[in-house]
Structure 1
Amino acid sequence: MPDSRKNLRYYFEDRPLHGTFFIYRMDNTIVNSAAGDITIHDLSGGGMRFFSRLNLPVTDRVLLTFSFRSLHKNFTLHGYIKRKEKQVDGCMYGVFFPDEVNDQKNDLVRTVHQLNIEHKERQS
């Protein structure tokens, strides 16, 4: 994939994408917590922005696993929370997907690109 498309982002403006997450690892300990619900507001090969009612930490010590479906494809990606913005009924989070723990990143980049193409076609 060309680097220029690596961080192409798709914004779910009208209908956020639903997904789940769980805590996979804290420091070097595998955790496998219960799943929590999220709504994904934007997505790229490098990360995403999601909303949750839960109060999660911003740290590289906690690796989360995110699962969602887009364009008839299931995705399971690991990421670290890098940003947090408190809102009235929860928090908006920014997540980074590190290359070394995600083998689906190329497929995700292609899917984000396809979402943008389909969005442009609907706007025409």
Structure 2
Amino acid sequence: MDERRKYERLNFADRHLCTTLRIVHINRIPVRGKEGQACIFDISSGGARFRTNLDLPVDPHCEVEVELETRMVHPLKLRANLMWKHGQMFGCQFNFDHEEDRVYLNICINDTAVYLKTNDIAHIFVECDFCQTNCEVMNGIEVS
């Protein structure tokens, strides 16, 4: 199988990252979609894999906003298109207006990777919680 990923991916293993997301554009028309919770399983500066209880369409004309609380920018709002869906699992590709936004996300991801290896709080970019097994999205779910 060919590897399609261009960006190094950070896998959160059993400590998934909690976030909020909502639909923000349909056919480039701004909308105010229902906000919901999501648990990010892995992330790169190109996209993410996450689970949510929201019923989201996989449609190239539908853009969602993923919101991450960070220590430097409150919050980091990432726009993305959903690329695939398997049950409540989704894959998204981030859309950046400026390459420096991708660079900033990559710095945050690298800092988080250091934190996950060392538990050194100085290297954590997120201020939001890691998902617990009792969160609304992960409640009672076995995750591989």
> What runs of 5+ residues in structure 1 fail to find an aligned partner?
1-5
Query: Aligned AA for 2:12?
Result: F
TM-score w.r.t. the length of structure 2 is: 0.69
Structure with the higher strand share, 1 or 2: 1
Question: Residues 77 and 102 of structure 1 are in contact (CA less than 8 Å); yes or no, is this contact kept in structure 2?
Answer: no
The DSSP-based 3-state class of the residue aligned with 1:95 is strand
Structure with the higher helix share, 1 or 2: 1
2:116 matched residue in structure 1: 119
Task: Find the aligned partners of 2:60 and 2:42 in 1 and give their Cα distance.
Answer: 21
TM-score w.r.t. the length of structure 1 is: 0.79
Question: Residues 68 and 75 of structure 1 are in contact (CA less than 8 Å); yes or no, is this contact kept in structure 2?
Answer: yes
In percent, how many aligned pairs have the same letter?
25
Which residue, out of 100, 107, 129, partners 1:110?
107
Query: Aligned AA for 1:113?
Result: N
> What runs of 5+ residues in structure 2 fail to find an aligned partner?
1-5, 120-144
2:142 matched residue in structure 1: none
Shift of 1:119: 3.2
Work out the number of aligned pairs and report it: 112
Calculate the aligned-residue CA RMSD, in Å.
Answer: 2.0
Task: Find the aligned partners of 1:92 and 1:110 in 2 and give their Cα distance.
Answer: 26
